[in-house]
Amino acid sequence: MTATPARERTVHQADAVDGPWWRHAVIYQVYPRSFADSDGDGIGDLPGITARLDHLVDLGVDALWLSPFYVSPQADAGYDVADYRDVDPVFGTLDDIDALLDKAHRLGLRVVVDLVPNHTSDEHLWFAAARAAAPGSPERARYLFRDGRGRHGELPPNNWTSMFGGPAWTRITEADGRPGQWYLHLFDTKQPDLDWSNPQVRTEFEDVLRFWLDRGVDGFRVDVAHGLVKADGLPDWAGVVTMIDGSDPVDGGAAPHGRTSPMFDQDGVHEVYRAWRTVLDSYPGDRAMVAEAWVEPLERLARYVRPDEMHQAFNFSFLSAGWDPAALRSVIDRSFAANDTVGAPTTWVLSNHDVVRHASRLGLSDPTRRPNGIGDGDEQPDAELGLRRARAASLLVLALPGSAYLYQGEELGLPEHTALPDELRQDPTYTRSGGAERGRDGCRVPLPWQQDAPAFGFSPNGASWLPQPAGWREFTVDAQRGRPGSTYETYRSALRLRRQHQLAAGDLTWLPSDPEVLTFTNGRVLVVTTMGSAAVQLPPGARVLISSDTSQTGDVVAPDTTVWALLD
C-alpha cells in the first residue's frame, strides 16, 4: 500500500503566522493538586508549580491552563468555588499566584486560569445568605430556588438529573425548621447553579474577570460554558443526560447532552460571552477565553467562537472520535468547515482531567469507547497498544492547524490508573452514581518526576493524595529526558518541528489514501497516520522528520503510527 499523492482536497487554508498567540498556541493543562507538592501535604500547590515551570519551557509549550485553585471545600476538586478572589490555603496564597504569574511571564509562558460561572460552592457567602433568607428574597434570586411539586412540595420542581448521577435538585430546611424550597444543581448537591438572568450575577462575574485580568492572567478557561442559561420555566425533559464529559452513560443510549436539552446550549449564553469579550478587549495584550462546551453539532459549537465572543472552544467531538479513521477525518473536516465560517481556530484536545487518559482509552478492545473511569474488574486496556496509538494520536494532533491543549502527563505517555481501590476514589460521580461510574480519579493521579524519589518526586516526603502505580517508575520525567524516542522527547521534538514548519498556521490538504490511513499535507510536511493493520510506504523523496514509532527506520510506516515527512 502506498500513500502517494494523487488527487487532493484542501479543507483549510493557511492562517497569518503573526496572528494573536491563542490562534496557534499549545496550551498545557496543569491540574494543581497533582502537578507538584512543595509542602509535603500530598496535594500539589502553586509554589510546586512555580518551581517546575522549567519543565514546560523545556517541553516547548506556549502557555499553561491552571485548573481551579480558589477557596473551595473541594467537593468537586475545586470546581466548587467558595471565594472567586482568593486562593485556597491547600494551594497557597495570592502572593503565590502572583509569583507564579511573574515567573511564567519571565519565562515567556502565558497563563490561563479556570473560571467556574455555572455554579458556586454551597459554602459561598451568597449561598449561605440564600439559605438563611426567605423564599422570594433577593438572596434566593441569585440561584435557582423553586417550590417543589406535589401536595406538600415534596417532589422536585422538575425531572432533571445531575451530571454526576442522582437528582439535580436538593430540598433545604427553612429557617423555621420546616422542609422548604428546592435548589437546582446540575452537578453535586454542593454546587448550586446560579441564575444568570439575574443582573447581579452578571456584574459579579465581570468583576471577577477584572480581578484576575488586573493580576495579569492571559485568559480564562470557562467551565460548563454551555450551561449558564437554562430554558425558560425549567421544563421537564425526556432526554437522557450523558455524564459531563460526554462519556458513555450508564444506561447506554444517550444523545450528546448539548443538542436539545433545556439545561445546555441555550441561545442566551452568547450574550454573556459578548459582554465578557468587551471586558477582555478593554485590557492590553491578547487576553483569551476558551469554552468548555460539550456541544454538538460543530456548527453550534462554532457559535461560541464568533468574532465577538470567545476565542477558542475545546473540540470534544474530536476527542470523542476514538481511533476510527473515518470518524476522525469527518470530524476534522467538519471542524474546519464550521470554524472557518466564523474565522476561529480549531482547538484540538485528546485528554483532560475529566476523561480516561488517551494512552488507556485507545488501548481498549473498542477504541471508540469512552468509559467514565476504569477500575479493577473492568476491561483493562492493552497498555502497549494504547501507548503506541496515543503517541500516534498526539503527533496527529500536533500536525493539525490551530491550537492544541495537552493534559499534564500525556507528554510522559502516562496511562490511566486503572486499578485504584474504590475506597480511595474522591470524584463525586463515584458516590452519586452508587459506584456505577468509577469516575475521574484515575486520570488525576499525581505526576511522576523522578525514579528514585519518594512519590516519584511529586512531594518531598512521599505523600500523595492518590497512590501512583509502581509501574510509573518507567514513566518519570528523569527516566525519559534525553532518551531518544521516549514519549517526552517525542513531544519535545514535535513541538519544535511544529514551530519550525509553522504547522499551527498551516493549511490542510487531504491526499487520497487507504480508508484506514489519514494522509494529508500541512505546507511542505506530509502527515501519515496508519490506523489499520497494514503498513504504508511513504512517497519517494519524502524525508522523515519524526515518527511516533520508536523503531521507525526507513520509509515504511507501521500500523498505529504517525509520521511527519518533508516533501521535496
Contacts with ligand GLC by CB under 6 A lie at: 76, 79, 116, 187, 223-224, 244, 292, 353-354
Among 521, 517, 535, which residue's Cα sits nearest to residue 564? Answer: 521
Q: Is 467 buried (19+), middle (13-18) or exposed (0-12) by CB count in 10 A?
A: middle
Query: Which residue's CB is nearer to ligand GLC, number 187 or number 405?
Result: 187
Q: Helices (DSSP H) in 263-400: which residue ranges?
A: 269-281, 298-302, 316-319, 325-342, 358-361, 383-399
Catalytic: 292? yes
In Å, how far from its chain's centre is CA 445? 16
Distance separating alpha carbons of residues 165 and 265, to the nearest angstrom: 20
Give min distance, CB of 353 to ligand GLC, in A: 6
Give min distance, CB of 80 to ligand GLC, in A: 7
Q: Which residues fall within 8 angstroms of residue 474, CB to CB, at 6 or more apart?
A: none
Distance separating alpha carbons of residues 401 and 471, to the nearest angstrom: 35
Catalytic residue among 62, 188, 218, 223: 223
Phi, psi of 311 (to 5 degrees): -95, -35
Give min distance, CB of 126 to ligand GLC, in A: 17
Residue nearest to ligand GLC (CB): 79
Among 219, 143, 151, 138, which residue's Cα sits nearest to residue 184? Answer: 143
Catalytic residue among 15, 195, 292, 437: 292
Query: Which residue's CB is nearer to ligand GLC, number 371 or number 559?
Result: 371
Query: Which residue's CB is nearer to ligand GLC, number 244 or number 393?
Result: 244
Query: Which residue's CB is nearer to ligand GLC, number 67 or number 521?
Result: 67
In the numeric block, the cell 473511569 is attached to: 373
Q: Which residues fall within 8 angstroms of residue 389, CB to CB, at 6 or more apart?
A: 323, 358, 362, 363, 367, 560
Give min distance, CB of 203 to ligand GLC, in A: 22
Give min distance, CB of 65 to ligand GLC, in A: 11
- Looking only at the bridges linking them, the beta strands covering 536-537 and 556-557 are antiparallel
Query: Which residue's CB is nearer to ligand GLC, number 31 or number 472?
Result: 31
In the numeric block, the cell 490551530 is attached to: 402
- Grid coordinates given for 188: 453535586
Distance separating alpha carbons of residues 372 and 318, to the nearest angstrom: 17
In Å, how far from its chain's centre is CA 56? 18
CA distances from 354 to 87, 192, 314, 358 (A): 22, 20, 13, 11
Amino acid at 266: Q
Give min distance, CB of 68 to ligand GLC, in A: 9
Query: Which residue's CB is nearer to ligand GLC, number 225 or number 364?
Result: 225
Give min distance, CB of 79 to ligand GLC, in A: 3
Query: Which residue's CB is nearer to ligand GLC, number 247 or number 346?
Result: 247
- Residues with catalytic function: 223, 292
